[in-house]
Amino acid sequence: MEAQNFKNHGRLVTGFHFITGGLLVLLVVGSIVNLVVSSHENVYSASLIVLIAVLLNVIAFYARAFALKAQDRAIKAEEKFRHYLLTGKPLSEALRMRQIIGLRFASDEEFPELIERAINDKMTEKEIKQSIKNWKPDYYRV
């Protein structure tokens, strides 16, 4: 596996992001076309198909959003613990969630200093990631 860094750390999963996402979009478009061209007798069933297509898209969106939220909470707990082990102090409440997520890629050597910079300079997640000199890979997050 290629060494992870700022430029290649984002992941797209073909089956979810492209195939499933594309099929969900096609389902909505196809169901709307079906509704538009349906006869008067089939408007009700065609409307239900559109409703199902939209509902499936909403479910897919929230399933992904809820999974990411759970991962974010796990990352926050891990980084709080790592900070405590490295410094003997709790992680500052001044850090925003997105900053903590960006900090997870920092090596232990630069982690405490980067936290201070992130707070003082109000760095974004992207700025934090770009500032990391020794990248600590995270291959588990999707």
Q: Please compute Rg for the chain using Cα positions.
A: 22
Quick one: pLDDT at residue 1?
64
Number of domains in the chain: 1
pTM for this predicted structure: 0.79
HSE (side-chain half, CA atoms, 13 Å) at 22 = 6
Beta bridge partners of residue 135, listed in sequence order:
106
pLDDT digits over 87-111, tens only? Answer: 999 999 999 999 999 999 999 999 9
4 part of a folded domain: no
1 part of a folded domain: no
107 part of a folded domain: yes
139 part of a folded domain: no
Question: What is the 8-class DSSP label of residue 121?
Answer: T
136 part of a folded domain: no
CA dist., res. 49 & res. 69, Å (int): 30
CA dist., res. 43 & res. 48, Å (int): 9
What is the residue range of 91's domain?
A: 14-131
49 part of a folded domain: yes
108 part of a folded domain: yes
47 part of a folded domain: yes
> Can you list the positions of beta strands (E) in 39-118?
none
Q: pLDDT class for 137, splitting at 50, 70, 90?
A: confident
